[in-house]
Amino acid sequence: MAKKRKHHLYSPRYWPTWAGMTMLWLLSQLLPYSLAMTVGRLLGKLIYRVSPTRRHIAAVNLSICFPEKSEIEREQLLLDHFHSLGIGIVMIGFAWWARDEKLRSLVKIEGIEHLQQSLDRGKGTILLSAHFTDLEITGRLLSLFQPIAVMYRPHENPVIEWAFSRNRRMRFEAAIARNDIRQVVRTLRQNLPVWYAPDQSFKGRNSILAPFFGEPAGTNTATSRLAKISGADVILFSGYRKPNGSGYHLVIHPPLNDFPTQDVQQDATRINGLIEMAIGYAPEQYLWIHRRFKKRKVIPDPY
């Protein structure tokens, strides 16, 4: 089975994926950060032009979440988002293959003491995050300061899945599939932080509709359950690319008070509100190409 799987990974249909990853590796080894940013912006412009479906999804999301903005403002935000998306793709190579010395000069961290104080309790910490375009590189940067475990959603492309799993296990203490709740709890009981982003559309028995920018969205209730089972603190963690192009700013907030409650709806609404707050610092860097408001039973799909 292992040989068959390996052969499958090298099937000609996946040669473009391998070529793309090879290019990301080369960029991470040969380019300084400033030049990699330029390449990322150019890639983002290309994606904007050749991907009308993703452009449409992002435009719909922005119109729902920022109705107060003018059409011109939203169009500029849409363009800025695709620039950020291209940069985020290039930065995957930096996250996986760049040397620690190359990355340390790019990062400023704020609030690390909140995480240390939480870990002093001995029950682990749930690092609540969201899907920003630079998600992969901000996780790698945080690992320079504190060993962490990560939760992830398996990718449909087996080559990308292999690469993500391999590199995340190299860079982090553990990489846990998002549906493996038992492993998450075991990891928290080992007093490790678990980095977790629950903000994508979710359906099933552990999903409820909770407001996201005032619009009902399928929301995962696992944050409440994990906190209740493990006794771990929940801490908002976010990372942003600095507007001056000098690197990244990581922010670790104090632990949530009075969480979880007995009201799952209230907890989910609170989590979505925290993610909204994080997005507000750099809205163009959030992953707007995801269909956040899909698969709702009564309310029509806006896409």
Q: Tens of pLDDT along 209-243?
A: 999 999 999 999 999 999 999 999 999 999 999 99
- Across the range 157-181, mean pLDDT stands at 89
Count other Cβ atoms within 10 Å, centred on residue 57: 20
Confidence of residue 295 (pLDDT cuts 50, 70, 90): low
> Which pLDDT belongs to residue 201?
74
Express each pLDDT in 95-113 by its tens digit. Answer: 999 999 999 999 999 999 9
- Average model confidence (pLDDT) across the chain: 93
* CA atoms of 59 and 303, how far apart (whole Å): 10
Backbone angles phi, psi at 193, to 5 degrees: -75, 140
Token code pair at residue 292: 């956040």
pLDDT for residue 165 is more than 90: no
Report strand pairing: 125-128 vs 193-196: parallel
pLDDT for residue 2 is more than 70: no
Give every CB contact of residue 144 below 8 A, 6+ residues apart in sequence: 100, 103, 104, 107
Residue with tokens 């990489």: 175
Of 34, 37, 31, which is closest to residue 88 (Cα–Cα)? Answer: 37
Express each pLDDT in 248-269 by its tens digit. Answer: 999 999 999 999 999 999 999 9
* CA atoms of 298 and 64, how far apart (whole Å): 17
Calculate the alpha carbon distances from 112 to 13, 116, 126 in Å. 44, 6, 14
pTM score, whole prediction: 0.92
Of 138, 127, 135, which is closest to residue 287 (Cα–Cα)? Answer: 135
> Which pLDDT belongs to residue 172?
94
Q: Compute the chain's Rg from CA coordinates.
A: 19
* CA atoms of 190 and 192, how far apart (whole Å): 6
- Across the range 78-88, mean pLDDT stands at 98
